[in-house]
Structure 1
Amino acid sequence: MMDKQLFGPLGDRRYAEYIVDIKGAGMHLLSLVNDILDLSRIELDGLNLSLQEIDIDGICNNCLAIIRGRAEESKIRLNFLAETPYPEIETDERRLKQILINLLNNAVKFTPAGGTVTLELQANPDGGAIIRVRDTSIGMTHEEIERALQPFWHADTGLDRSFEGAGLGLALVGKLLELMHGNLHIQSEVGVGTVVSVTLPQSIVPKEGESPALAAVA
């Protein structure tokens, strides 16, 4: 009986679950290390941007697909609202994905079951793009927003979520957007939800006195 439990179908299923947990923990640790390294590189002016014209609609859909599994596990509905024509911008595709995945992860993390997270895309009348992540999360006070923009800050979500992260998300997003000549704006109301708005320029032109490495073209 013991042999069957250890080596039979039940044991196989249990070990498969262990492997999934170990893989998830490993991916989380890798993501954490990469975020810390990126934050350090930005602080040391050592992070290059690879600029190109991007498929911004495709990037948004790709980021939603990446986050969809976690949202479904947490019983949160994902929406995507995009105005056409889609904005045409030249920026760093990898870093934009990093920004959106961080923001979507945060939104899912702080939104109770049954809530919604909506990704919105529109052209900026002044050129460039505006992307918003709107959620029905627990919300934040003004003081909490200020603290959330600092590295390694954690909020008490009151929610049962695994792999809560190191509190680098918004801090890294803010630094990346500064590097990409974009802007970050956060509106939030406790018990109602949060709207995080990202504004990106049509193209990145090095500012006077700025290191050329900050706008390196691939």
Structure 2
Amino acid sequence: MIVERMHVPVGLVDDTAVWPYDVPAVAALLGEGIALEAPVTFLVGENGSGKSTLVEAFAEAWGADVRGGTSGRRYSSELERSTLGSTMRLDRTRLGARMVGERAAGYFLRSETALDMFTRYEKASPAYLEVSHGESYLEAFDSHFHEKGLYILDEPEAALSFTACLRLIGTLADVVEAGGQVLCATHSPVLTSMPGASILELGDHGVRRVDWADLELVRHWRAFLDEPGRYLRHL
């Protein structure tokens, strides 16, 4: 493990009734915060539950470029750190404490800036030319997910097919085997099925640890695939 807990010291927040601290999942960071108990942790929840907010702040607290990319490198100074990113603290293991600055190995895939990031890659490597959006994601994973480090992903399944999601699970397993750690926000029932992963479900309740079979998104997908009309008739 590299990071054991993410939290926000109460003394750093002037008003917990304003965004983002009024989001239940973000409020769960105050004080003791949220423990990370496995090498791979998935954050799941509906849109607006705070998944991306937590993931991006986590990346900022780790020291990653706010636009995304390889940890320890800076591609742009155009984006300022978020309010939550400025207050979040990470409890690092002995290994994590050694990963600072240029030694902060890992990768941050930020959904909003992924296209810009892949454009940078295309200029630097012919491997990214003439491939689909999903293939560029896989090329990034194959090229950058190969060392002991912290890998932070925001909805990587957005451009991936079913089989590509399965391939990503294999890549994440390789990261774990190398001694790395993963924090991933996702809507994918495929990714969250990864053996040994910890799943945190975000919602009005805040944050709770849930088994894959008990996830709301899994129950909905099962019900939808069994009988789509049960959902479509309400549209």
Give the TM-score taking structure 1 as reference length.
Answer: 0.27
- When the two structures are superposed, what TM-score results if normalisation uses the length of structure 2? 0.26
